[in-house]
Amino acid sequence: MSDTPIQPSSGSVSAAGVVAAMAMSLTFAPVVGSVGLSSDVAAVTQQTVTKITPTVGAVAVAGVASTISKPTVTSMTPTVASLALAGVASSVAQQNQNPNPVPGVLSLLYNAAATGSRFWWPGGKGFFAVTAANFNGATVTLNLLGPDNATMLAAATATTLTAAGVGQVELPPCYVQAAITSGPPTGVYATFTRIPTEVG
């Protein structure tokens, strides 16, 4: 008896009293809708992705409510006033500077109305000169820093002026300052000019 080869195909095949079912292998490409495979129905639904852009308002994330506030940037320019930084108050004082400094001349006040800054004086003789648009009863005094590095002392009677004028004084190396008391005056200018020392 010869053997007869059996070529399987889609469907049922009976061989020697044994029924074997052979299923054809198919590849399915799911689409939007319902697809039935072996009596199991699987649904393929179309997914929609929506881009979410937070705006000013309340946003709830995982049950936690938070608020997104719209930031506003304002340009701020410090002026002569008081500034509060982290609870510490500081003061910005107006100080006019001579736009055309001259070597050997300290510009202590330039169109000022209040006491100026301290400047280093290398020592020697100098002329203290003061003018003002209006003194208004003010006194302009050439001061030098005292030995305690805190107190300003009047340099001399000749350099304490209540009107436009000059005064000469000889000082050691020190910090000097033009101080204004009373008034208030307007448009005050004060210089301290070094007098060259003759050698020989």
Kindly state whether residue 117 falls inside one of the protein's structural domains.
Answer: yes
| Structure confidence at residue 147 as a pLDDT band (50, 70, 90) | very high
Q: Which residues span the domain enclosing 148?
A: 105-194
Question: For the domain that residue 172 is a member of, what is the CATH number?
Answer: 2.60.120
- Reduced 3-state DSSP string for 114-153: CCCCCEEECCEEEEEEEECCECCCCEEEEEEECCCCCCEE
Kindly state whether residue 159 falls inside one of the protein's structural domains.
Answer: yes
C-alpha torsion angle, residues 114, 140, 116, 173 (rounded to 10): -170
Q: pTM here?
A: 0.51
Q: Which helix (H) or strand (E) holds 101?
A: none
Task: Flag whether pLDDT at 150 surpasses 60.
Answer: yes
Task: Flag whether pLDDT at 42 surpasses 90.
Answer: no
Kindly state whether residue 152 falls inside one of the protein's structural domains.
Answer: yes
Kindly state whether residue 129 falls inside one of the protein's structural domains.
Answer: yes
Kindly state whether residue 119 falls inside one of the protein's structural domains.
Answer: yes
Kindly state whether residue 61 falls inside one of the protein's structural domains.
Answer: no
Kindly state whether residue 176 falls inside one of the protein's structural domains.
Answer: yes
C-alpha torsion angle, residues 118, 119, 121, 126 (rounded to 10): -90
Better-scored residue on pLDDT, 98 or 197: 197
Total domain count for the chain?
A: 1
pLDDT number for residue 196: 87
pLDDT number for residue 199: 61
